[in-house]
Amino acid sequence: MESDAAPSTARQSAFWDIFRAIRNHRNYRLFFGGQLISVIGTFLTNTATMWLAYSLTKSASEKTFVLGLTQFASTIPMFLLGPFGGVWVDRLNRQKLLVITQTLSMLQSFALAILALGHWITVPQVIVLALVQGIINAIDIPGRQAFLVEMVTDRDDLANAIALNSTMVHGARLIGPAAAGLLIASVGAGWCFMLDGISYLAVIAALIAMHIQPRPRRPRASVLAELRDGIDYLRRFPPARVLMLLIAVFSLSGIPAMIVLMPIFGSYYGGSPAQGARIYGFLTGALGLGALAGAIRLAGRKTVLGLGRLIGICSVMYALAIAAFAISNQLWLALLIIPIAGWGMITSTAASNTILQTVVEDDKRGRVMSFFAIAFLGMIPFGALIAGKLAQVLSMGGPPVVGASRAILLAAFVCLLASIRYWMILPDIRRMIRPIYIEKGILPQLAEGLQAAEATAAAGEGS
């Protein structure tokens, strides 16, 4: 009986260990609960925004370009303003800063809701409000990333909190788009925006309820000087550059191609506008299902060791999966393939985030995470425009889905080349990060061995 009970107890312990950051840190528990509700609303808005941009455009030849332009507007501020946002995140009270950014995001969603429900919404209004949200995100995203270390005070739980954040986002990605597809088809896109606006109240309340230990004040230079300091820090640390470059390539090619062109596949598989909205939601939800599974698997890890190799594996997985999706012509096959892409996408991105958060210096965290956000989100606007235009050109006068498939195949090839290059550099990355892991006690046995060797050498010198 004892031998049967022991494995069962171990499995239960491993399962609950996935949630250790939530269990051990009240502030993070509040944040996680409020953010989960809010992020579901965010995906309602994201899905409804792209569908509105697609459906409001009357010209079939311009639909793909408008999709790319809408995505461009929502993410270009991260590229232009993200570094300055990172400086302010390092300077200001992050808790108060996030209350402000979340409140502004709530007002932006309500503005979309009023225009859509009143039937006044136009494509230019969709694009302008997407741009407004992008400006808010340039501060909000690096702020939320950097705020993790203030909510999770035990560094042993930090990697788990990052993975749980990814689990939360992609759990919402699974629920939000599918719900958006049903809402759009039944009551219209306006209610997606209205529910999103209401959902922000949860995370704002959670932020206000937190008890955060104030950060020690540090000497301040000018904004430009602090920005240069952050750039110099990255220049002196090649592993961060390599990780960000890999994520940037994927965000310039594979990720926007899948996101921007997905409504085309929804319309192709659905046939009618109403059914197309549902299929679009299911396809996006399937991507989120794979991402959720990958994030949960990542949250179960107890160490950052081995993440570099995992990034390489999942990068190749993503490239091959989107290529397979592009050449599939059956809905059931596409729904089977796309979760694999989601798994690869989130695992490589979240694992890169985890490594950076583990090794970065605390006083530069906001700036480093703003550069990571630029690599992950700041490249997407350019990729969105490229994907939309490529799909338009490569269709060669045929149906939009033909050009979309060819554009995704080209993006998959670029991602595969970047993954191969990453594998070639990986041994050098490991060699550079190893001393930091030793210093932080992540490689405790080796660290103890070095300490013992130093003590022996010192004793020898003394004698």
CB contact at 8 A, 339 and 294: no
Query: In this structure, is residue 14 part of a structural domain?
Result: no
Q: Which two tokens stand for residue 169?
A: 């986002």
Residue 217 falls inside a structural domain: no
Of 417 and 256, more confident = 417
Q: Which of 14-23, 319-328, 335-344, 384-393 has the lowest mean pLDDT?
A: 14-23
pLDDT at 379 over 70: yes
Judge whether residue 26 has pLDDT over 60: yes
Q: DSSP alpha helices (H): ranges in 253-330?
A: 254-270, 273-299, 307-327
Residue 191: the pLDDT is 92
pLDDT band at 79 (very low <50, low <70, confident <90, very high): confident
Q: What is the pLDDT of residue 16?
A: 63
Mean pLDDT for all residues in the chain: 80
User: pLDDT higher for 46 or 223?
Assistant: 46
Does 8 map to a domain? Answer: no
Residue 266 in domain: yes
Q: How confident is the model at residue 455 (pLDDT cuts 50, 70, 90)?
A: very low
Q: Is residue 219 part of a domain?
A: no
Fill in the DSSP letter of residue 374: I
Distance CA 438, CA 213 (A): 28
Tokens 């309500």 correspond to what residue? Answer: 110
Distance of CA 326 to the CA centre of its chain: 23
Residue 1: per-residue pLDDT: 44
Amino acid at 185: A
DSSP codes, 243-268 = HHHHHHHHHHTHHHHHHHHHHHHHHH
> Does any domain span residue 114?
yes
Cβ atoms < 10 Å from Cβ of 272: 11
φ, ψ dihedrals at 234, nearest 5°: -70, -35
Most confident range, picked from 109-113, 157-161, 442-446: 109-113
Burial state string for 44-56 with b = 16 or more CB within 10 A and e = fewer than 16: bbbbbbbbbbbbb
Q: Measured between alpha carbons, how far is 408 from 265 in angstroms, rounded to an integer?
A: 12
Average pLDDT over residues 146-164: 77
CB 366 within 8 A of CB 140: no
pLDDT tens digit sequence for 81-96: 887 888 888 777 888 8
Answer yes or no: is 422 within a domain.
yes
At residue 64, the pLDDT reads 67
**Rounded CA gap, 394 and 290, in Å?**
29
* Percent share of the chain, pLDDT over 90: 19
Share of the chain above pLDDT 70, in %: 87
Q: Residue 21: how many CB atoms within 10 A of its CB?
A: 25
Q: Is residue 233 part of a domain?
A: yes
- Domain of residue 70 covers 20-209+229-442
- pLDDT for residue 297: 81
Residue type, 65: F
| Tokens (6 digits) for 460 | 């020898």
- Cα dist from 328 to 324, 325, 334, 442, whole Å: 6, 5, 6, 44
Give the pLDDT score at 415: 93
* DSSP of 188-215: -THHHHHHHHHHHHHHHHHHHH---PPP
Our count of domains for the chain comes to 1
Say what the pLDDT of residue 22 is.
84
Instruction: Look up the CATH number of the domain holding residue 286.
Output: 1.20.1250.20
Q: What are 167-178's pLDDT values in tens digits?
A: 777 667 667 777
| pTM flag (> 0.75) | no
Nearest-10 Cα torsion for 43, 132, 124, 190: 40
What pLDDT, on a 0 to 100 scale, did the predictor assign at position 108?
Answer: 94
Q: Average pLDDT for residues 306-335, to the nearest whole number?
A: 90
Rg (CA), the chain: 23
Residue 454: band (very low, low, confident or very high) from pLDDT cuts 50, 70, 90: very low
